[in-house]
Amino acid sequence: MDLGHRTVPFEITGVSHGLKEVKGLIKSSPSGLELEYKLVDGFVGVLESEMKSVHIPFGSLEDITFEKGWFSGKIILEGTSMRAFQGLPGTEPGSRTLKIKRKDREEAQNLVSRARMQLSEYRLNEIEGGEEKEF
């Protein structure tokens, strides 16, 4: 089992003025974040779209954070531009808030920690001119 690439279920609520919700999975990859999702009816929960995939490269991410609440948590993705989340429905331009159920909070925190480390490594590599250094 590869603990570095476990998926975390998420929801994005309030899409299309509350008429639709996004339900999906997020995982980190060496080059960014991978999200798979379906759009469902916000009231009945009936499937409205085929499964879609979105890759968000680290170069398009400004920040990724986790906020813990009493009953759930949130992964907050901040993009470098409004195009960063093209293809992923949401309610905020340039950012996405992924709602995480209570039972998945610990794994979500682990995912955010891994992704923040990878984002830092990406930025360091960019500063160093994209050169891979051997130790």
- CATH number at 109 reads 2.30.29
d(CA 41, CA 32): 29
Cβ-contact 11, 98 below 8 angstroms: yes
User: Is 101 contained in some domain?
Assistant: yes
User: Is 100 contained in some domain?
Assistant: yes
User: Is 96 contained in some domain?
Assistant: yes
User: Is 132 contained in some domain?
Assistant: no
User: Is 1 contained in some domain?
Assistant: no
pLDDT tens-digit readout, 31-52:
999 999 999 887 776 777 789 9
Quote the strand ranges of the chain, DSSP E.
Answer: 8-15, 20-29, 32-41, 52-57, 61-68, 72-79, 95-101
16 pLDDT more than 50: yes
Cβ-contact 108, 73 below 8 angstroms: yes
Look over the chain and give the mean of its residue pLDDT values, rounded to a whole number: 88
Q: How far apart are the first and last CA of the chain?
A: 28
Split at pLDDT 50, 70, 90, the class of 20 is: confident
User: Is 135 contained in some domain?
Assistant: no
Split at pLDDT 50, 70, 90, the class of 135 is: very low
Tell me the pTM.
0.85
User: Is 103 contained in some domain?
Assistant: yes
Q: Which domain holds residue 112?
A: 7-127
130 pLDDT more than 80: no
pLDDT tens-digit readout, 58-86:
999 999 999 999 899 999 999 999 899 98
User: Is 133 contained in some domain?
Assistant: no
Q: Structural domain tally of the chain?
A: 1
Beta bridge pairs of residue 68: 73
Q: What is the mean pLDDT of residues 106-119?
A: 96
Q: What is the mean pLDDT of residues 6-28?
A: 90
